């Protein structure tokens, strides 16, 4: 039951978010062999001023064992 959470800056349309969710679902299905019914995708808007405290620190810095693609930035 893969569940993927995407956090990004606001400004993308619902159409863009839907397209992203569909692309992620297809990637999960082909990579992991999961059926589409078992995949869920959540997309959360995070304001730039909150990025370091709500995403970078808790999800990237504090959980290095879960990061399989490092970001090329450091907002601190």
User: Catalytic amino acids?
Assistant: 2
Provide DSSP, 26-60.
HHHHHHH---GGG-EEEEEE--GGGHIIIIIIIII
Q: Bridge partners of 4?
A: 41
């Amino acid at each position: 039951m893969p569940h993927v959470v995407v956090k990004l800056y606001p400004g993308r349309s619902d159409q863009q978010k839907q397209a992203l969710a569909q692309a992620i679902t297809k990637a999960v299905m082909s990579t992991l062999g999961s059926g589409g019914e078992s995949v869920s995708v959540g997309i959360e808007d995070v304001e730039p001023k909150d990025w370091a405290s709500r995403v970078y620190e808790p999800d990237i810095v504090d959980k290095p064992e879960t990061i399989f693609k490092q970001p090329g930035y450091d907002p601190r």
